[in-house]
Amino acid sequence: LHSMATLKWSLLLLMLLFSVPVFAQDCVTKFMGIPVDGTQEEMFSALEKKGFKRVRNEYLLGEFNGRENSIAVVTNKGKVYCVGAIDGNLDDITVMRRFNNVFSMLKNNPKYSYIEGELIPSGEDVRYNILVKNHVYEAYFQQIENNSDDPLICGIVRVHIDQVSVSEYMLIISYYNMNNYPNGEDL
């Protein structure tokens, strides 16, 4: 289940990296207006200023997009490359509604450009499709900056559903800074 999703994500990243000339160095993905860059401590501090509470120096808790979320900060060589907002403890119907809601908000927002993914059809059995068919529900968007005649691609936003147990799910919205993303330098 997770290895297929990881493979698909890796292939998509490769396609994006080689089809898009370069992610602009001065245009960095932003999470709640904060650049997804710098150290984990700098990101934690910036999020604390927005009212998030640190939990054992591992993650933060606070309101994102109108709901209580856990916020994870992921680094590569000490630099932040991903911030993920995790809306958890959801049943299959709720996670489907929230996925579709976030998908629609991003698709209709001029700060984002749609890449791939679909709304979940009404009445679809998300639990069965994930558990039995190993279906992965995800969508990808580019965060863009329109400050000039030539919009800049600032990074990738991934929305996906992750299964926690047979009947519990979480919706994760991940903001990636592709400038700090691991590129195999340690291989």
* CA angle 47–50–51, rounded 5-degree value: 95
CB of 23 within 8 A of CB of 178?
yes
* Cα(159)–Cα(173) distance, integer angstroms: 5
Which stretches of the chain are DSSP H helices?
Answer: 2-19, 40-49, 92-107, 126-131
- pLDDT computed for residue 20 by the predictor: 43
pTM confidence score:
0.86
Strand partners, 48: none
Task: Write the pLDDT tens digit of every residue in 93-120.
Answer: 999 999 999 999 999 999 999 999 999 9
Residue 1: pLDDT band with limits 50, 70, 90: very low
179: Cβ contacts below 8 Å, ≥ 6 apart: 23, 25, 28, 37, 81
